[in-house]
Amino acid sequence: MKIVVIQGPNLNMLGKREQHIYGPMTLEQIHEQMKSFAEQNNIEIEFFQSNLEGEIVDRIQECMGDAQGVIINPAAYSHTSIAIRDAIAASQIPAIEVHLTNIHAREEFRRHSITAEVCAGVVAGMGAFGYHLGMVGMVQVMNEIAESAKQQAQVQEK
């Protein structure tokens, strides 16, 4: 089982930028925690961060046939990127969107996520712990998909 974690613009600045909003943890620290969870659960995990919309679209497309799940924080692109939304939908790979802050309690322009509409779930407002919740959620989604496939195979055998 492989999960690809895709991080959007400015997340490389975590721990340095607006700690009162995004918290003190760096992106590397968050990834280390996710890596630890992945190892404990026999999950292969890969990390990608870009400030460029096209690179994020490319990475989502590259997940097809390579990963069973995507955890994505599109950051500001959540509110503006039809291209990232379409890439998630086209990939047909389950995705969970994570936001460090509660986007619904922020500025009006941040309150709607275009990309969330095509994700299996969204975690928002839990700070860095939200990535852990996203991992737990992704394991559950992938287990449900595997169980459904197993049941379909059993029906076809009969």
Rounded CA-CA distance 122/3 in Å is 16
Q: Do residues 115 and 84 lie in contact, with contact meaning Cβ atoms separated by under 8 Å?
A: yes
Half-sphere CA count of 158, side-chain side, radius 13 A: 5
Of 31, 77, 99, 131, catalytic:
99
- The gap between the terminal CA atoms of the chain, to the nearest Å, is 28
Active-site residue flag, 77 = no
Active-site residue flag, 20 = no
At 53, list the tokens. Answer: 């919309």
Rounded CA-CA distance 123/134 in Å is 7
The crossing angle, in degrees rounded to 10, of helices 82-91 and 53-62 is: 0
Widest Cα–Cα separation across the chain: 59
Of 22, 31, 77, 131, catalytic:
22
Nearest C-alpha neighbor of 16 from the set 25, 8, 6, 28:
25
Which residues are part of the catalytic machinery? 22, 99
